[in-house]
Amino acid sequence: MRLTNRCRYALAPLAVMAMLVSVATAVELDTLLPTATPAYPEDLLARLRSAAAVVPGALPAELRYVTVAESRRPRRAVLDGGSDETYVQARTAFQLVFDNATVMIDAGMDEQVHNGFSMGTQEPYWPERNAAVQEALVSASLVVVTHEHGDHVAGVVRSPNRAAIAAHTVLTKAQVETLVLAPQSVEIRLSPEQAADYLVIDYTLVHPIAPGVVLLKAPGHTPGHQMVFVRMDSGHEVLLSGDVTWAMDGITQRTQRPTATSDRIREDRDALGFQIGWLKSIVDDGEVVVIPSHDSVYLAELERRGVIRQGLAGD
């Protein structure tokens, strides 16, 4: 029993698909992973800049972030060939502040989902910060997530405010398919009925969602992974690169996660390879600030440079 492409990309039969997959073997679930994605076009940055001007309105004035939890991992688990030195992985959510509106990028997670990442150890978690993320998700005009892993998406799928948040949350078809059919953990599974509450979109490569804000398709870490390009009111440009790499060094040194980690996550390393190559060229060029989701040291540096601010608006 194989799921056809036509079936994969139609949202309506999700209920039927969920039934089919519940009896499918693990091997057959592999057919749900992304097929090879063509490398990025040469003019991608120009296309992002052009798309950033499509939605009319004032550009975002501020980029903010909050760390709701931290995980400690040896660098060798984060970067291929890394040392035994501890790497602090910040679990973050980002917020764009406009004149009269906010857009949230990623959604934090509750403590139960956090505990699932802690592998039996006690790792820092700040419930009051996640509560602030929840308030920000409710009051935002729009919410998007970089990808469908628990530390990025739990706040919009496991929340007492889920229905209210879902009404202004844009998920991609690929994200929804993973959350319904093959979620990272049972805690973040969506039923087909719940999935219908979100604003579900599909797009080919770039897609503008707000003034200055453009989604960039980047399947590899997960099938529904995407990056977010932002042109700020100041004229500065940032690219939230999600989990293409966990550490900034992964981009500057063109280093992926170790193969064992990729295998566990079931990543597409070819896709990650060209995404990292493109990100490195952007970093070398120096015009766009690239921001991975989890690099606590680099986030602190960007804060010192005035690129981002810690804490959400209204805190």
The residues of the shown chain that bind Zn ion, judged by CB under 5 A, are: 151, 243
To Zn ion, the closest distance from the beta carbon of 38 in angstroms equals 25
To Zn ion, the closest distance from the beta carbon of 149 in angstroms equals 5
Q: Which is nearer to Zn ion, 147 or 217 (CB)?
A: 147
Q: Which is nearer to Zn ion, 151 or 237 (CB)?
A: 151
To Zn ion, the closest distance from the beta carbon of 257 in angstroms equals 11
To Zn ion, the closest distance from the beta carbon of 242 in angstroms equals 7
To Zn ion, the closest distance from the beta carbon of 243 in angstroms equals 4
Handedness of CA 248, 172, 191, 16 (dihedral sign): negative
What are the tokens at 127?
A: 């419930």
Q: Which is nearer to Zn ion, 243 or 295 (CB)?
A: 243
What is the DSSP pairing of strand 142-144 with strand 169-172? Answer: parallel
The residue sitting closest to Zn ion, measured at its beta carbon, is 243
To Zn ion, the closest distance from the beta carbon of 150 in angstroms equals 8
Q: Which is nearer to Zn ion, 110 or 197 (CB)?
A: 110
Q: Which is nearer to Zn ion, 148 or 177 (CB)?
A: 148
To Zn ion, the closest distance from the beta carbon of 285 in angstroms equals 25
Task: Encode the chain in three state secondary structure.
Answer: CCCCHHHHCCCCCHHHHHHHHHCCCHHHHHHHCCCCCCCCCCCHHHHHHHHHCCCCCCCCCEEEEEEEEEEEEEHHHHCCCCCCCEEEEEEEEEEEECCCCEEEECCCCCHHHHHHHCCCCCCCECHHHHHHHHHHHHHCCEEECCCCCHHHHHHHHCCCCHHHHHCCEEEEHHHHHHHHHCCCCHHHCCCHHHHCCCEEECCCCEEEEECCEEEEECCCCCCCCEEEEEECCCCCEEEEEECCCCCHHHHHCCCCCCHHHHHHHCCCHHHHHHHHHHHHHHHHHCCEEEEECCEHHHHHHHHHCCCCEECCCCC
Q: Which is nearer to Zn ion, 148 or 197 (CB)?
A: 148
Q: Which is nearer to Zn ion, 197 or 243 (CB)?
A: 243
Q: Which is nearer to Zn ion, 151 or 268 (CB)?
A: 151
To Zn ion, the closest distance from the beta carbon of 210 in angstroms equals 22
